[in-house]
């Protein structure tokens, strides 16, 4: 196994976790992932879950979108605490889905996506259901 002093950037088991996740960077420079990137990853992962209709933003985010300042991280808050990422997701679900199952799937899929893509560990993923979308009316022929 290559040692920690090699120039290839291999990480050994005894290296600090913050080094492993890029917070301190490498010999070549710092590696940082902005919170908006984590929010975008979380949003895309959450929207793939069956039963999730959309992300639900705050009143201020709604006003901003009306004046043309659309936000890709609408309805998502990302915080770092003790080298872990905490994510709050505000969602709208489809009528008739089982909320606990959808929320658990969101937590699982968002955790996997963020950890796989960024190398950062997840602390908490809070799913806040802020609305229910009624079923689309049937179109008669």
Q: 10 Å Cβ neighbour count for 93? A: 23
DSSP track, 77-94 = EEEEETTEEEEEEEEEEE
Same domain, 48 and 8: no
1: which 2 tokens?
Answer: 């196994």
Same domain, 115 and 77: yes
Same domain, 12 and 44: no
Same domain, 70 and 4: no
Q: Tell me the pLDDT band of 135, cut-offs 50, 70 and 90.
A: confident
Query: 69-108: per-residue pLDDT in tens?
Result: 455 567 999 999 998 999 999 999 999 999 999 999 999 9
Q: Compute the distance between CA of residue 75 and CA of residue 71 in angstroms, rounded to an integer.
A: 9
Query: 20-73: per-residue pLDDT in tens?
Result: 333 557 788 988 899 999 999 999 999 999 999 999 875 555 555 555 545 556
Q: Where are the alpha helices (DSSP H) in the chain?
A: 17-20, 35-47, 59-66, 99-118
Same domain, 114 and 91: yes
Same domain, 79 and 121: yes
Residue 45 inside a domain? The answer is yes
Q: Closest Cα to residue 43, out of 1, 101, 90? A: 90
Q: Closest Cα to residue 77, out of 67, 87, 90, 64? A: 87
Q: Compute the distance between CA of residue 118 and CA of residue 112 in angstroms, rounded to an integer.
A: 10
Which CATH number does the domain housing residue 41 bear? Answer: 3.30.70.1350
């Amino acid at each position: 196994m290559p040692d920690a002093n090699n120039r290839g950037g291999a990480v050994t088991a005894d290296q600090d976790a913050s080094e492993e996740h890029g917070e301190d960077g490498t010999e070549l420079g710092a590696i940082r992932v902005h919170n908006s990137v984590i929010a975008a990853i979380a949003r895309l992962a959450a929207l793939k879950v069956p039963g999730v209709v959309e992300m639900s933003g705050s009143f201020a985010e709604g006003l901003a979108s009306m004046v043309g300042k659309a936000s890709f991280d609408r309805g998502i808050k990302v915080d770092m605490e003790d080298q872990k990422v905490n994510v709050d997701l505000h969602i709208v679900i489809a009528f008739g889905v089982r909320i606990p199952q959808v929320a658990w799937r969101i937590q699982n899929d968002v955790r996997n996506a963020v950890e796989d893509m960024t190398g950062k560990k997840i602390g908490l993923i809070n799913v806040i259901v802020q609305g229910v979308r009624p079923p689309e009316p049937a179109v008669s022929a």
